[in-house]
């Protein structure tokens, strides 16, 4: 009975809950666009986002846009809590002279974000592998029509995980881990640095006072998401293609460099930026929601609802 009051009385508990709320807000708000991005990246032709969306929705219904959401939604509380906790620790660890009352330096923010991205990849890589397999199940089924005995129709994330372990062993669940680390370490560096920099520019002094407006949270979070995607998007395209490979199809790519080379040879350098528009739109929406929900939830937990969030423009 006393667990939650004691848990929320601790700063780690409040960070955990606020991080989970922020993460869930991000997943729900941006998942349809994420599904569309994955479809674009794995498409063998340069089909537009609208044509892909129209074809899939007409054939599978709008629920196809949410296929595979259970995996990231189920893991997002722990993942987001871990990300914000590790970032808070590392951003200060790289600046030992920092006063506990002062915000971390921009150098600490960048290095802390880099380390956070590398560490969280250990959890994110299996989750994204399962998510991508579910999102591309429609395409896989179409490809496998000529081989019905090898067709696998997965009912959910647990079923996908079991099939991967059965076909490829425990090592298979971490397919794409290396490329995920190479993507997430620099992207989180840009992610947290952009957020801290933009919130201070939009609302001077807020890094010390924590009194930025809701508009500032949304804008700074959205821009942080855009920056993190633009800086590493070609790596994300390669990651999607590597993780989309399944055991019932002949292996096409033999590593990161091979996937990069073959993708460019077949579709040109433009393939490395395929789906960027969808990803950027989703990134702005999702990360604005994540940071706003996180900051608001954290302040409400700290003040037990007595804190105030500014809604007027602070620019």
Confidence of residue 143 (pLDDT cuts 50, 70, 90): very low
pLDDT of residue 315 exceeding 50, the answer is no
Closest to 217 (Cα-Cα) out of 18, 64, 37, 16:
18
What are the DSSP E strand ranges found in 93-240? none
Q: What does the pLDDT average to over 157-166?
A: 87
**Residue 248 carries which DSSP code?**
T
Whole-number pLDDT of residue 16: 75
Answer yes or no: is 151 within a domain: yes
Answer yes or no: is 131 within a domain: yes
Confidence of residue 148 (pLDDT cuts 50, 70, 90): very low
pLDDT of residue 305 exceeding 60, the answer is no
Confidence of residue 6 (pLDDT cuts 50, 70, 90): low
Confidence of residue 248 (pLDDT cuts 50, 70, 90): low
pLDDT of residue 20 exceeding 90, the answer is no
0.85 exceeded by the pTM? no
Answer yes or no: is 181 within a domain: yes
Answer yes or no: is 232 within a domain: yes
Whole-number pLDDT of residue 314: 39
Answer yes or no: is 43 within a domain: yes
| C-alpha distance from residue 226 to each of 88, 276, 278 (Å) | 21, 10, 11
Whole-number pLDDT of residue 8: 67
Confidence of residue 167 (pLDDT cuts 50, 70, 90): confident
Answer yes or no: is 311 within a domain: no
Quote the number of domains for the chain: 1
Residue range(s) defining the domain that contains residue 159: 3-303
When mean pLDDT is compared over 98-102, 273-277, 306-310, the highest value belongs to 273-277
Chain-centroid distance of CA 45 in Å reads: 25
Mean pLDDT (the chain) is 82
Question: In degrees to the nearest 10, what's the CA dihedral of 127, 62, 152, 282?
Answer: -30
Whole-number pLDDT of residue 284: 95
Whole-number pLDDT of residue 307: 42
CATH number at residue 78: 1.50.40.10
Confidence of residue 313 (pLDDT cuts 50, 70, 90): very low
Q: What does the pLDDT average to over 4-27?
A: 77
Answer yes or no: is 225 within a domain: yes
pLDDT of residue 246 exceeding 80, the answer is no
Give the contacts of 250 (CB within 8 A, at least 6 positions apart): none
Where is pLDDT greater, at 52 or 6? Answer: 52
pLDDT of residue 144 exceeding 60, the answer is no
Helix or strand run (H / E) with residue 297: helix 276-303
Answer yes or no: is 182 within a domain: yes
Where is pLDDT greater, at 150 or 103? Answer: 103
pLDDT of residue 304 exceeding 80, the answer is no
Distance CA 34, CA 282 (A): 7
- The tens digit of pLDDT for each residue in 213-227 reads 999 999 999 999 999
């Amino acid at each position: 009975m006393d667990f939650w009051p004691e848990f929320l009385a601790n700063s780690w508990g409040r960070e955990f809950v606020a991080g989970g709320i922020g993460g869930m807000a991000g997943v729900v708000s941006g998942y349809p666009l994420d599904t569309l991005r994955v479809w674009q990246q794995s498409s063998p032709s340069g089909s537009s986002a609208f044509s892909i969306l129209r074809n899939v929705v007409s054939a599978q219904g709008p629920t196809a846009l949410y296929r595979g959401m259970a995996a990231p939604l189920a893991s997002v509380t722990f993942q987001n809590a871990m990300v914000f906790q590790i970032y808070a620790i590392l951003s200060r660890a790289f600046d030992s002279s920092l006063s506990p009352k002062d915000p971390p330096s921009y150098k600490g923010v960048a290095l802390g974000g880099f380390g956070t991205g590398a560490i969280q990849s250990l959890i994110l890589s299996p989750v994204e592998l399962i998510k991508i397999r579910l999102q591309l199940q429609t395409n896989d089924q179409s490809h496998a029509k000529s081989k019905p005995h090898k067709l696998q129709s997965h009912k959910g994330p647990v079923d996908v995980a079991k099939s991967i372990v059965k076909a490829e062993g425990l090592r298979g669940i971490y397919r794409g881990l290396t490329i995920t680390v190479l993507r997430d370490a620099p992207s989180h560096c840009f992610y947290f640095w952009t957020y801290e920099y933009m919130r201070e520019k939009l609302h001077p002094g807020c890094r010390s006072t924590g009194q930025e407006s809701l508009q500032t949270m949304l804008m700074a979070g959205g821009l942080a998401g855009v920056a993190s995607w633009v800086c590493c998007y070609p790596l994300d395209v390669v990651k999607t293609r590597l993780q989309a490979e399944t055991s019932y199809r002949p292996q096409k790519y033999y590593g990161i460099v091979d996937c990069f080379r073959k993708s460019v040879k077949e579709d040109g350098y433009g393939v490395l930026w395929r789906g960027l528009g969808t990803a950027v739109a989703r990134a702005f929406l999702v990360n604005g929601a994540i940071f706003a929900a996180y900051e608001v939830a954290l302040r409400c937990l700290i003040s037990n609802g007595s804190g105030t969030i500014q809604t007027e423009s602070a620019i």
